[in-house]
């Protein structure tokens, strides 16, 4: 395979494109609503109408408004339909020629779609994730070809640095800096690891990317391998993601067959293999040192850093670890240029971010926006506000994050602004809360999660989260005294400062942020008032 053949595949694919395409989402969200049957019914309906030559029924990745699945979109007119049932298939096929359909329409010009960006998710909902030709026809693997034939590894690292891309796995560490550290590390072997453990409750961004456009992640990893000098990659994916795993396996097989992975990639001297490692569903295995231990077949527990993976990672060799979404950004940075990427978002938080919007909000689903977008736009315009009409807070960053109260909804969603209001960007979970949510209960929920997911290695996290959970329960049961509240705050500080890894260090964050903005709810419980949510006093 060389560049000409790659272009040939793209041209063939484009030439064979039928005039009409019916896109049916078969990502996990819609599959759970029965989209597999819809896809089959659509195929049957097209066959019955004798339109196989003119209409392609395509299984695509997430179309974003997951709460209304199964979603179907007609191309060329781009009309969308939601909650589609198999018996509506024939009328949908007829609708291609202007016929009527009783399928429930869904407005693709609505703010939910119109305000979104299309970078990481550019192919999501458009290509069939199980057909490498579709990805190639959408400029797929062009970035890898460009990197291998027109750029030196240093050029690639420099482009990633200039793009300003920051890690999407949570901490926002500059990706270019990490790549250059691994590139400069000495080692007879190096590894590239993709972190697809995604364990935050309510988060499904990475899963959607893998289910909708797996090749973008493979291409990003291969480019990384070239940049840092690695010839082996691993994708560490949680066992709860069977569909994503299966689509990745298909993608790896297809890429290998076309020599876009393996040896002598695109007729160059570059070799890169990717293997999948499946986790057993432990949140802590998303922490990079625990993840590496798990890949090596050991118990998945974190170890102190330094040494950082860039110096000494898998089997003691320099290892680059990035998140799924970080890798998915790479092909476009290389293909469209670092300056283009840097022009998106804010100067310090460039590019876009994918969020999974859930909770008390009308439109739940997958959302991509430029960084710097106000939280208000995300929850009120894109999310359509809460069904009860009142938004009390938005939880960002999962169990490591915090609750941003409604009066701070104009906070821009970027790494620094969220940190300034006591939360974090995290990996992209956004949970909207209304006045039914008692914030102490919310804090206890996340503490319970951390308690269950603590690996048990260090004492502050293992035993501290249990005691924090008990104290929160005591407060909720209205059995706590003022001294318990003091102890709660002291223990939060101690667990945060003394825990070995990020899990323990950030476990107190939901408590600290609710104490900061919703202390009155703690106080009310201390006074023995009945537990209820209620609005923030400033909002009344």
Ligand X SMILES: Cc1cc2nc3c(=O)[nH]c(=O)nc-3n(C[C@H](O)[C@H](O)[C@H](O)COP(=O)(O)O)c2cc1C
- Interface ranges with ligand FES (CB under 6 A): 25, 27, 29-30, 62-66, 69, 71, 365-366
Q: Of the candidates 59, 195, 332, 437, which one interacts with ligand X according to CB under 6 A?
A: 195
Sheet of 104-106: strand order equals 55-60, 20-25, 72-75, 80-82, 104-106
By the rule CB under 6 A, 177 interacts with ligand X? no
Please report how close the Cβ of residue 252 comes to ligand X at its closest, in angstroms: 19
The footprint of ligand X on residues 416-475 (CB under 6 A) is 427
Find out whether the peptide bond into 76 is cis, omega within 30 degrees of 0: yes
Distance CA 441, CA 435 (A): 12
By the rule CB under 6 A, 198 interacts with ligand X? yes
Q: Report whether 400 contacts 507 (CB < 8 A).
A: yes
Task: For residue 108, give every residue at least 6 positions away whose Cβ sits within 8 Å of its Cβ, in sequence order, or none.
Answer: 73, 78, 79, 80
Q: Of the candidates 104, 246, 490, 532, which one interacts with other proteins according to CB under 8 A?
A: 490
By the rule CB under 6 A, 36 interacts with ligand X? no
Distance of CA 118 to the CA centre of its chain: 14
Task: For residue 147, give every residue at least 6 positions away whose Cβ sits within 8 Å of its Cβ, in sequence order, or none.
Answer: 155, 156, 223, 226, 227, 334
Q: Of the candidates 357, 501, 515, 525, which one interacts with ligand X according to CB under 6 A?
A: 501
Please report how close the Cβ of residue 534 comes to ligand X at its closest, in angstroms: 32
Interacting span for other proteins (CB under 8 A) from 110-118, 205-213, 490-498, 530-538: 490-498
By the rule CB under 8 A, 303 interacts with other proteins? yes
By the rule CB under 6 A, 301 interacts with ligand X? no
By the rule CB under 6 A, 307 interacts with ligand X? no
Interacting span for other proteins (CB under 8 A) from 89-97, 203-211, 398-406, 450-458: 450-458
Q: Of the candidates 292, 431, 433, 451, which one interacts with other proteins according to CB under 8 A?
A: 451
Q: Of the candidates 494, 516, 526, 533, which one interacts with other proteins according to CB under 8 A?
A: 494
Task: For residue 289, give every residue at least 6 positions away whose Cβ sits within 8 Å of its Cβ, in sequence order, or none.
Answer: 302, 303, 305, 309, 501
Distance CA 1, CA 240 (A): 35
> Could you say which of ligand FES, other proteins, ligand SF4, none residue 25 binds, taking C-beta under 5 to 8 angstroms by partner kind?
ligand FES
CA distances from 443 to 465, 469, 500 (A): 12, 9, 22
Please report how close the Cβ of residue 465 comes to other proteins at its closest, in angstroms: 8
Coil vs helix vs strand at 500: coil
- Where on the chain is the footprint of ligand X (CB under 6 A)? 167-171, 173, 195, 197-199, 283-284, 286-288, 321-323, 326, 427, 501-503
């Amino acid at each position: 395979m060389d560049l000409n053949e790659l272009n040939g595949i793209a041209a063939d694919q484009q030439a064979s494109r039928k005039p009409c395409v019916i896109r049916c989402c078969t990502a996990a969200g819609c599959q759970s609503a029965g989209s597999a049957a819809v896809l089959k019914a659509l195929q049957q309906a097209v066959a019955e109408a004798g339109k196989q030559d003119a209409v392609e029924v395509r299984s695509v990745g997430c179309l974003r408004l997951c709460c209304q699945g199964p979603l179907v979109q007609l191309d060329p007119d781009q009309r969308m339909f939601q909650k589609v049932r198999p018996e509506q298939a024939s009328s949908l096929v007829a609708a291609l020629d202007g016929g009527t359909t009783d399928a429930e329409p869904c407005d693709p010009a609505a703010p939910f779609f119109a305000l979104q960006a299309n970078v990481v998710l550019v192919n999501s909902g458009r290509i069939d994730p199980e057909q490498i030709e579709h990805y190639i026809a959408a400029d797929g693997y062009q970035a890898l070809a460009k990197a291998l034939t027109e750029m030196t590894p240093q050029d690639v690292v420099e482009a990633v640095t200039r793009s300003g891309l920051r890690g999407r796995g949570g901490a926002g560490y500059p990706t270019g800096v990490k790549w250059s550290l691994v590139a400069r590390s000495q080692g007879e072997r190096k590894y590239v690891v993709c972190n697809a453990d995604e364990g935050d409750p309510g988060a499904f961004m990475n899963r959607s990317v893998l289910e909708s456009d797996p090749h973008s992640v493979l291409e990003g990893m291969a480019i990384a391998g070239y940049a840092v000098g690695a010839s082996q990659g691993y994708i560490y994916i949680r066992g709860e993601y069977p569909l994503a795993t299966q689509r990745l396996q298909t993608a790896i097989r297809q890429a290998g067959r076309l020599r876009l992975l393996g040896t002598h990639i695109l007729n160059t001297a570059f070799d890169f293999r990717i293997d999948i490692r499946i986790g057993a569903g432990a949140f802590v295995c998303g922490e990079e040192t625990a993840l590496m231990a798990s890949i090596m077949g050991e118990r998945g527990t974190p170890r102190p850093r330094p040494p950082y993976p860039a110096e000494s990672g898998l089997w003691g060799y320099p290892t680059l670890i990035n998140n799924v979404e970080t890798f998915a950004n790479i092909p476009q940075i290389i293909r469209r240029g670092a300056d283009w990427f840097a022009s998106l978002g804010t100067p310090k938080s460039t590019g876009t971010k994918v969020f999974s919007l859930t909770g008390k909000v009308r439109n739940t689903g997958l959302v991509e926006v430029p960084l710097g977008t106000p939280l208000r736009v995300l929850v009120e315009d894109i999310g359509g506000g809460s069904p009860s009409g009142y938004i009390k807070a938005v939880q960002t960053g999962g169990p490591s994050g915090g609750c941003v109260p409604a009066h701070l909804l104009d906070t821009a969603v970027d790494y620094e602004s969220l940190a300034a209001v006591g939360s974090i960007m995290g990996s992209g979970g956004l949970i909207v809360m209304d006045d039914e949510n008692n914030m102490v209960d919310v804090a206890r929920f996340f503490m319970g999660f951390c308690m269950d997911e603590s690996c048990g290695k260090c004492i502050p996290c293992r035993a501290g989260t249990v005691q924090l959970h008990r104290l929160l329960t005591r407060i909720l049961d209205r059995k706590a005294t003022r001294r318990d509240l003091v102890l709660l705050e002291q223990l939060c500080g101690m667990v945060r400062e003394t825990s070995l890894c990020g899990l323990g260090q950030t476990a107190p964050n939901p408590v600290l942020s609710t104490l900061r903005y919703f202390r009155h709810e703690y106080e009310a419980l201390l006074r023995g008032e009945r537990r209820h949510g209620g609005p923030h006093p400033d909002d009344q």
